[in-house]
Amino acid sequence: MPRTVITTQQAKKNVATNPMTWTAADATNNHFYADSGDTVLLMRNTDSTSKTVTISSVPEPSFARTGDVVVVVPAASGGVPGMAVFGLPDPQAWDQADGTINVNVSNATGLSFCALQVQRR
């Protein structure tokens, strides 16, 4: 099955981005989001157990590595969701041929994503 899209939202300088749209995690199909090199992936966990998210890299010899990044999103505590972020990736090391980044999850319960393109200047 095709991966589930995490819609990339734009955060404009000096303008509030509210509300942000969150995409529920899909452990069956996994995910992808569009990347311009200025995108951060926010991860929110409302479950009582931590979650593991794998960001898939692409082989890039100039970075001297070919490994994926594994992010542990902490469990919610005291009614406050656990949060993690992966951001501002170098497109040469992370983007698939179509300019997207693949995101894999093993357990989707309580996990959601928000891809936010930030304006650096």
Predicted TM-score (pTM) of this structure: 0.90
**Which tens digits make up the pLDDT trace of 14-25?**
777 667 899 999
Domains of the chain from N-terminus onward: 4-118 (2.60.120)
Structure tokens at 77: 């505590």
3-state secondary structure (DSSP) of residue 18: coil
Please give the residue that has the higher pLDDT: either 95 or 14. Answer: 95
Average pLDDT, the chain: 89
pLDDT in tens, 31-75: 999 988 789 999 999 999 999 999 998 877 676 666 899 999 999
**Which residues make beta-bridge pairs with 98?**
none
Amino acid, res. 57? S
Confidence of residue 120 (pLDDT cuts 50, 70, 90): low
Residues 6 or more apart whose CB falls under 8 angstroms from that of 43 comprise 51, 53, 71, 73, 83, 84, 85, 86, 111, 112, 113
Token pair belonging to 40 = 């951060």
